[in-house]
Chains A and B, each alone.
Chain A
Amino acid sequence: MQLALFWFLAALAILSALGVIAQRNPIHCLLSLVVTLLTIGVLFIVEGAVVVGFLQIIVYAGAIMVLFLFVIWLLNLPVEIGPTGHLALKFFGSVGAAALAAEILVFVLPPHLQVRLSAPPPGYGSIDSLAQKLFSEYLVAFEVTSVLLLAAVVGAVALARRMPGSGAEVRAAGAQAAPGADQV
């Protein structure tokens, strides 16, 4: 039963991951990515990491993907009409990615990878055990993460702010012959 679920989810994940890199319309790519992330979240839950799986679905497939969606809408991107980039780059890129996949698979397939040391203890993956870990062993990292998020928020606002005299602002002012009155 679990194995059948795994095969279904794995096929879905790989197909939608291919959809991310193969489609022309960025919105379609993003929707494929959401499917991939949801699938990976369900796989986390199948593996017993229930809390992290739900976090993945809420934070990743929810919040971060909405951020991407807003940015795509904001930029008003055109659909790419033809293939872009050099043919040589495409060729070597494909060969390189295939070689990397083969290389990783060598290390992942059985003769190299045998780690099973112990069965998961009871309560594995529960919010209790995760919190025990986060607030004892990883306490410093946890606190530093909050500073990182603060820095990221400040940095994102500072970068995306419409600055007076920037390119778009000057163009808009030139087109309408009036300075933007809505700038902060």
Chain B
Amino acid sequence: MVPLTYMMSLSSAIFAIGVAGMLLRRNILIMFMSIELMLNAVNLAFIALGTELGSMDGQAIVFFAMTVAAAEAAVGLAIIIASFRNRETVHADDLTMLKW
């Protein structure tokens, strides 16, 4: 059995890498991939804690998180396609139409 601390440390490391990608990259697609990284890091924490507690709740929540992530990916990518079609860019700093 892998100690819980190891799993949680790995999870927090992947989460921090996702946050770093979100903050450092300006390409919308890669920012989106960073969001997926963070989601998966949290899923890993859920699974590790669920196993530690001997409860299936963690797995059920991960199941729902995956479903929501699928919906989020579909809608998010559609938004990226729509904005690319109109603005010809995936650079987040160029999408400033809502800026006052």
Q: Is A155 an interface residue (CB 8 A)?
A: yes
Cβ distance A69 to chain B, nearest Cβ, rounded Å: 11
Q: Which residue from chain A places its CB closest to the CB of B3 in the assembled complex?
A: A3
Interfacial chain B residues near A92, Cβ < 8 Å: 23
Q: Is the CB of A64 within 8 A of B70?
A: yes
Are the CB atoms of A168 and B85 closer together than 8 Å? yes
- Write the nearest CB–CB distance from A9 to chain B, whole angstroms: 8
Residue from A6, A85, A121, A148 in contact with B6 in the complex, judged by beta carbons closer than 8 Å: A6
Knowing A26-B29, A55-B63, the reply to whether A47 touches B6 (Cβ < 8 A) is: no
Verify B5–A100 contact, CB threshold 8 A: no
Q: 8 Å CB contacts to B: which residues of A104-157?
A: 104-105, 108-110, 113, 115-121, 124-125, 129-130, 132-134, 137-138, 141-142, 145, 148-149, 151-153, 155-157
Q: In the complex, which residue of chain B has the Cβ closest to the Cβ of A26? A: B29
- Chain A residue at minimal CB-CB distance from B36: A33
Is the beta-carbon distance between A133 and B56 smaller than 8 angstroms?
A: yes
With A14-B14, A129-B56, A141-B64 in contact, is A109–B5 under 8 Å at CB?
yes
In A38-73, the 8 Å CB interface with B consists of: 40, 43-44, 46-49, 51-52, 55-56, 59-60, 63-64, 67-68, 71-72
Complex interface: chain B residues within 8 A of A119 (CB): 54
0/1 string, A17-32, CB within 8 A of B gives 1: 1101100001001100
**B66 interfacial by beta-carbon distance below 8 Å:** yes
Chain B interface category by residue count: 35 or more
The answer to the question of A93 belonging to the interface, with a C-beta cut-off of 8 Å to chain B, is: yes
**Complex-state Cα separation, A151 to B9, whole angstroms:** 36
Residues of B contacting A173 with CB < 8 Å? none
- Residues of B close to A115: CB separation below 8 A: 4, 49, 52-53
Check B54–A118 contact: CB distance below 8 A: yes
A89 to B63, CA, bound (A): 35
B71 on the interface (CB 8 Å rule)? yes
CA–CA, A47 to B62, complex, Å?
Answer: 13
A159/B78 in contact, CB under 8 A = yes
The one of A101, A116, A125 that contacts B12, using a Cβ cutoff of 8 Å: A101
* Smallest Cβ-Cβ distance to A97: which chain B residue: B20
User: B34 touching A21 by the CB < 8 A rule?
Assistant: yes
User: Does A167 lie at the interface of the complex (its beta carbon under 8 Å from any beta carbon of B)?
Assistant: yes
- B5 adjacent to A149 (CB under 8 Å): no
Contact of A49 among B6, B34, B50 (CB under 8 A): B50
A2 at the interface (CB under 8 A from B): yes
